[in-house]
Amino acid sequence: MVSLVALSLFNVSVLLAPIKFISTLLELVPIPISARLILLWAAIINVAVSVGYERWIAQVVADVVGLFVSSQQDGRRRMKDSRVYYRAIDRD
């Protein structure tokens, strides 16, 4: 967690007010402060959407995919003693 906070603070400081040494080292192109603020807001919105997806939507998507996969595999495999046995498909 500490490393995540440190990396985030470094990224924000490089975005908003980069030190001359770091700016030269990373070969940063100077952009107006308004563009920097837009990038910062885009990053904040991206983090918020990602956290919201992970918290509320990811499990729903996983359940839907699980239902689809299990419906596709019904009748084709059997489990016995924790082993998977596949049944042959009849071809007419």
Q: How far apart are CA 41 and CA 37, in angstroms?
A: 6
Q: How far apart are CA 88 and CA 90, in angstroms?
A: 6
Per-residue model confidence (pLDDT) at position 68: 80
Per-residue model confidence (pLDDT) at position 19: 87
Give the total residue count for the chain: 92
Question: And the tokens for 37?
Answer: 């603020």
What pLDDT digit, counting tens, does each position of 20-68 carry? 998 889 898 989 999 999 999 999 999 899 989 988 898 899 888 888 8
Q: How far apart are CA 77 and CA 88, in angstroms?
A: 9
DSSP of 12-80: HHHHHS--HHHHHHTTPPP--HHHHHHHHHHHHHHHHHHHHIIIIIHHHHHHHHHHHHHHHHTTTEEEE
What pLDDT digit, counting tens, does each position of 60-75 carry? 998 888 888 776 665 5
